[in-house]
Chains A and B, each alone.
Chain A
Amino acid sequence: MNIERILGGGAAIFGAFLLLYLIPNFVTDSDGMMSPTLFPSIAAWMFILFGSIQAITSSEPLKLPSAREFIRSGMIALIVLAAILAMEWLGFLIVATAFMAILTMFMYERRPIWLVATIIVMPICVWLVFELLLRRPLPPMLF
């Protein structure tokens, strides 16, 4: 079975889950000409219908990114998540500097001048633009 069919099947199952569990439990229905469940239900039926069509009719294999790229993408998502959580406590400047250092290393950059530009100059520039020029406060350090 090719990945296209699996994705189609997955979409159809998600549509059914939406229709049978998520909409009844997480959409507050009320009387009126148009029920609040109408659009989520349309979306659910579209998942079921078009997911099924995809599952049944797809025959060409999908060209996917390599496993290395998937793993690296997952790692970047985790780095971003960690940065967001850390920023709540340590503030913008410290975390942004560490974040840029990790990302440039992740991209194999080793030239000192580019490292300084990315790790030191860039976070300071962003901070100056938002805090001073646009007067939009960025996360402060909590302690």
Chain B
Amino acid sequence: MPDLNIIIAGLLDAVTLTNLLYIFAGVAVGQIVGAIPGLTILMALAIAIPLTYSLDTLTAVAFLISVNKGGTVGGAIPSILLNTPGTPESAATALDGYPMAKKGKPMKAMKYALYYSVFGDLSSDIVLITVAAPLALIALQLGPVEILALMILAFTVISGLVGDSMVKGLIAAALGFLVASVGIDPTQGTPRFTFGMLDLYDGLPLSALTIGLLAVGEIFAQIAGATKDASTGTPIQINSDNPEDNTVTLKEFLANKGVAIRAFVLGTVIGAIPGLGSATAGFLSYSVTKQAAKDPEAFGTGDPRGIAAAETANSAVVGANLIPLLTLGIPGNISAALLVSAFIIHGIQPGPLLFEQQGRLVYGLFGAMLIANFANLFVGQFGMRLWAFAVGAPNSIIFPSALLLCMTGSYITSGGFFGVFVMLIAAVVGYLMRAFGYSIVAFVIGYVLTPQLERSLSHALLITDGEIMAFLHHPIAIALVILSMVSVFYLGPKKRKPASTK
């Protein structure tokens, strides 16, 4: 564990003027993007990565995390104003936020969402900061065989939890394996699937690939689905004549503290498990709160407990999902996978060694996360009225602009048109995967984890001298492999209903 000087130096690194500016800018961008229905936080992250290319590592990662945090707040705005979640994470917020807005209190509903979101996010960040370093120490005790088994477990759990079926999730993960193996083999140094093209020797550019899969594929679907009457933008009236309906007092906030604390615990636990996401946390917390209430019939009519349950839980996922990333190097969800790509662009490999080798950077990141929560509160407090206009912005300006940014970003990160071609191919693949129900999350996680998996397997084979039976001397690895098999049997046959559990 890093000593106190490194921790303090790291935390202070986050408080430079440049970092503060980028944190506030990131939060504002995230809130605007979250507020626009159809644009997702993932799109924002994928587009934002190229913008960080020339930045210092801490500034770049702080900016991206701020975009992510801002997105969870912004996503609640269209949920409340239009009953259309700006991001999937905010779907549960609409259940009580929209009825409250219909009662003439849209500003109050948005402020409830903002305050509980910041509470959930801040609390989960504190958990992350507290547990990450000790967990990384434990992770360092694991050998290559155990790491290999852990990654197999992560693959089966993620493939089982995302998308419509585990079988399709595993096919998507296989595609991720295959695409990740393009380029020079990391253990032998021989070319694989390069077809004589020099550009392919370094593998496919991660940033262009994720921009194509996550952002452009979705933009294609949105532009293709456009109709003549769908692109009108009308400003929405959000202020009420009664001043009490425009604010949330401390007493009103604290009235739901029990709900918020339970939601924070649920969100943090769900965030720490790879494969589950904010939407699951929001819905689960909402239904648990409703079941525990003495008056469940009040839910769905504009009850602040519903907003508290959904927003606290979905925001608590944001900090907690960095636990598996920073301690084990395993991205728990797609946002974390995108952060991995940002780390890699800046020459850093996430994992337990990060605390030992880049302790100052990690604590700088933690400092930036804490600041981003307060920035979220500040920007949200003043920006809510403004973002409400963004909700009504026409799709005909949003999606073409986003597509141009994606093309430009791919060009910049890959240093030429090769990346833009990769982006286009990835977009077509992503569009088809979405249309045919294959999980893009499983594909990207498969792609990001494969190089690490190959190295772990290579190290495991080296220390066991290629003897399969030597794996029997690693009880933790055996337990993890058994858990993987259990997860296949438990999660495999289940068909999930996307709206309620994904």
Contacts and interface: CB of A to CB of B under 8 A. Distances in A.
A72 B221 CA distance: 9
Interface string B203-245: 0000000000000100011011111100100000000000000
A73 B461 CA distance: 46
B462 A73 contact: no
22 contacts: A30-B188, A39-B181, A39-B450, A40-B192, A40-B193, A50-B171, A62-B437, A72-B223, A73-B224, A80-B403, A83-B407, A100-B401, A103-B399, A104-B396, A104-B400, A108-B396, A109-B397, A114-B394, A118-B397, A130-B408, A136-B412, A138-B412
B226 A28 contact: no
Given A42-B177, A73-B221, A114-B396, 11 more contacts: A11-B171, A30-B190, A39-B177, A50-B174, A69-B224, A69-B225, A76-B223, A100-B401, A107-B226, A107-B395, A134-B51
Given A43-B178, A50-B171, A80-B424, A107 B399 contact: yes
Contact of B404 (A7, A40, A100): A100
B178 A88 contact: no
B431 interface: yes
B174 A47 contact: yes
The dominant DSSP class at the B interface is helix
Contact of B223 (A3, A27, A107, A117): A107
Contacts of B190: 27-30, 36
Contacts of A106: 223, 226
A64 interface: yes
B130 interface: no
Contacts of B435: 64-65, 70
Nearest to B412: A136
Contact of B401 (A73, A108, A122): A122
A103 B400 contact: yes
Given A80-B403, A104-B396, A126 B178 contact: no
A51 B165 CA distance: 12
A32 B457 CA distance: 13
Given A36-B188, A65-B225, A118-B401, A126 B408 contact: yes
Interface of B: 51, 53-54, 165, 167-168, 170-171, 173-175, 177-178, 180-181, 185, 187-188, 190-195, 216, 220-221, 223-228, 231, 394-397, 399-401, 403-405, 407-408, 411-412, 417, 420-421, 424, 427-428, 431, 435-437, 450, 453-454, 457-458, 461-462, 466, 495
A96 B194 CA distance: 31
Contact of A138 (B165, B411, B421): B411
Q: Please give me the 8 A-B residue pairs with the lowest Cβ-Cβ distance, nearest first.
A: A109-B396, A46-B174, A103-B400, A36-B185, A72-B224, A107-B396, A28-B190, A43-B177
Interface string A60-85: 10101100111011001100110110
Given A114-B397, A136-B53, A43 B181 contact: yes
Contacts of A136: 53-54, 412
A53 interface: yes
B220 A73 contact: yes
B192 A27 contact: yes
B420 A104 contact: no
Contacts of A40: 177-178, 181, 192-193
Contacts of A8: 167
A108 B227 contact: yes
Contacts of A135: 54
A65 B412 contact: no
Contacts of A42: 174, 177
